[in-house]
Amino acid sequence: MRTRLLAFCCLLIAVLPAYGEDGFVGTGAVRDVHDPCMIKFNDAYYVYHTSGMGGPDIKRSQDLIQWESLGRVFDHILPWSREIVPELNAYWAPDVAFWDGRYYLYYSGAQYGTNNSFIGLAVNTTLDPGDAKYRWEDKGMVIRSIPGVDHHNCIDPNIIIDADGQPWMSFGSFYAGIKLVKLDRKTGLRAQDDRIIYNLAFIPERGHDVEAPYIVRKGEYYYLFASYGACCRGVGSTYHIKVGRSKSVTGPYLDDKGIDMQAGGGLLFLRGYYPVFGPGHNGVLMNDDGVDWLVHHFYDPHMFWHDDMWGKPTLQIRPIVWSKDQWPLPGRSYSGPTKEAKLTKEDMVGCWSQSVHFTDSHELLLKSDGTCSFLQSIGHWTYKDYELTLDWGPWVDTLVVARDGKSCVGFNQDHVIIRNEKLD
């Protein structure tokens, strides 16, 4: 009877989209969010993101599920930035970092469709608007780009503090790709002792469509996440995230094949699938009680956005899972805490949905005798310590099982992403 149920369960999912339930979003103020970054302060999570007017906008949550709006960093456009871009009405793509007792918020502005752009800085000693000391003090411009003079584009800032405590700022959108500059730790502005603009990522053969860098440090590596493709087109967005790594903050950042991201390399980390269209412009919150969180926007196909465009920009959060060879993998969208289970091989037996490379899912059947089947392939599987291995003969899939045993994610031997969800 169990075998019949498993077969029936697998038959049901044969026509379902990949990870059909992996579109969870929180409640409250999670819509109309672009370009989010996230930081933790006093046991609360704060998200800063692109605003429609003024900005950047601020959201807060105690549990990563229920979000409230806290208004904006600025309710008006600062005069100095209006001098650079007279028609400016909103600040874009913020990032927040903390060092030496202060929070440093970097934001950008641009003349749309050009590289007439800038990155500014504001500082605060607290993130809680209810604190009497709460006040964002603007420090002015950090860097700018000028059409016809500079080839880069000064938007989408991200701050990384290296292993020696030195802050750096990556930035860039289209044009000459992703860049990096050194910052002065005392002021948060650009350092005077190193005026080099380092090159990190570029697409030489097409459209230069790389932007929104985010660098984190884990173990011996720095990891550069960047978004590729078209943003801001609702369900027509082709945004996706790639990653490379380096032992130096200034690069070179290489993918799993050893290709430099400056030469078009990058390991695919996350791309769209139903119902998550155009995921991108991510931030990362590292080591939150042992969990690394990815925060990004996507376009929800169930909601109208504007004009005749479907796909409202929406906040989504998911854990980052790390492979044995220390590459990041996208966990399932976060829907609340789960109870960790002491999983055994018997817990793996059953019917799963499996998606390869973010395509439609098909049935994966793990049998108690250690055999498995997927589409026309027959193989063998093993499980030990939250690692599931599927041996298909010509190739092998190695996956990290979630602590509740309900999903897993990993690579095959070519570092193509495999995502599974337990169905019974």
**421 catalytic residue (yes or no):** no
Handedness of CA 374, 377, 378, 381 (dihedral sign): negative
Q: Which secondary structure element, helix H or strand E, spans residue 2, and what is its range?
A: helix 2-13
CA separation for the pair 268, 154 (Å, rounded): 25
Contacts of 187 (CB under 8 A, 6+ apart): 139
Other CB atoms within a 10 A radius of the CB of residue 121 amount to 22
d(CA 70, CA 55): 11
Active-site residue 83, yes or no? Answer: no
- How far apart (Å, rounded) are the C-alpha atoms in residues 312 and 302? 8
For residue 312, give the DSSP letter.
Answer: E
- Tokens for 128? 């809680």
Task: Give yes or no for a contact between 193 and 179, defined as CB atoms under 8 angstroms apart.
Answer: no
> Residue 389 corresponds to which tokens in the numbers above?
């291995």
Report the C-alpha gap between 12 and 164 in whole angstroms: 54
Catalytic choice (95, 150, 211, 256): 211
Quote the CA–CA distance of 87 and 81 in Å, as a whole number. Answer: 10
Please identify every residue annotated as catalytic. 35, 211
